[in-house]
């Protein structure tokens, strides 16, 4: 009889834990619904969109990309070549500084 009571108590505790997990999963799924995401986004959008000029710049750049794809693709190539050239130049400058510091230490 005692074993039966222990098993029933264990069953009740497991059922309570299952119910908690079920409620947690239901809550998380409700957060993932498109309606909930849209309402969260609209709540924070008016305050954050108007106060950050960087977001305006990004949106204008996006419009430029959409309107003038050919020019932007060419510009992206030039910018990436410039970045590569700049990174090599900084590596050379860093190497020259190391050489100067070594020659200064020898004197």
pLDDT of res. 21: 94
Domain that holds residue 36: 1-51
> What 3-state class would DSSP assign to 69?
helix
Residue 19 sits in the same domain as residue 70 = no
| CB-CB contact of 65 with 72 (8 Å) | yes
**pTM of the predicted protein model:** 0.34
Assess whether pLDDT exceeds 90 at residue 82: no
Residue 104 sits in the same domain as residue 57 = yes
pLDDT of res. 62: 76
pLDDT tens digits for 51-61?
Answer: 566 676 777 77
Find which of 26-30, 35-39, 40-44 is predicted with most confidence, using mean pLDDT: 26-30
Residue 61 sits in the same domain as residue 39 = no
Residue 88 sits in the same domain as residue 101 = yes
Residue 79 sits in the same domain as residue 93 = yes
Cα–Cα distances (Å) from 52 to 48, 61, 64, 83, in that order, read: 6, 15, 19, 26
pLDDT of res. 23: 93
Q: Of the candidates 90, 66, 63, 65, which has an alpha carbon nearest to the alpha carbon of residue 76?
A: 65
Residue 8 sits in the same domain as residue 57 = no
Residue 5 sits in the same domain as residue 47 = yes
Domain count along the chain: 2
């Amino acid at each position: 009889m005692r074993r039966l009571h222990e098993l029933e108590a264990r069953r009740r505790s497991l059922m309570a834990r299952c119910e908690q997990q079920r409620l947690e999963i239901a809550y998380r799924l409700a957060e993932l619904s498109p309606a909930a995401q849209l309402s969260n986004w609209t709540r924070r959008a008016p305050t954050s969109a108007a106060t950050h000029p960087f977001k305006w710049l990004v949106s204008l750049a996006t419009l430029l990309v959409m309107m003038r794809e050919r020019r932007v693709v060419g510009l992206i190539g030039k910018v990436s070549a410039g970045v590569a050239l700049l990174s090599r130049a900084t590596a050379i400058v860093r190497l020259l500084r190391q050489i100067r510091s070594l020659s200064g230490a020898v004197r």
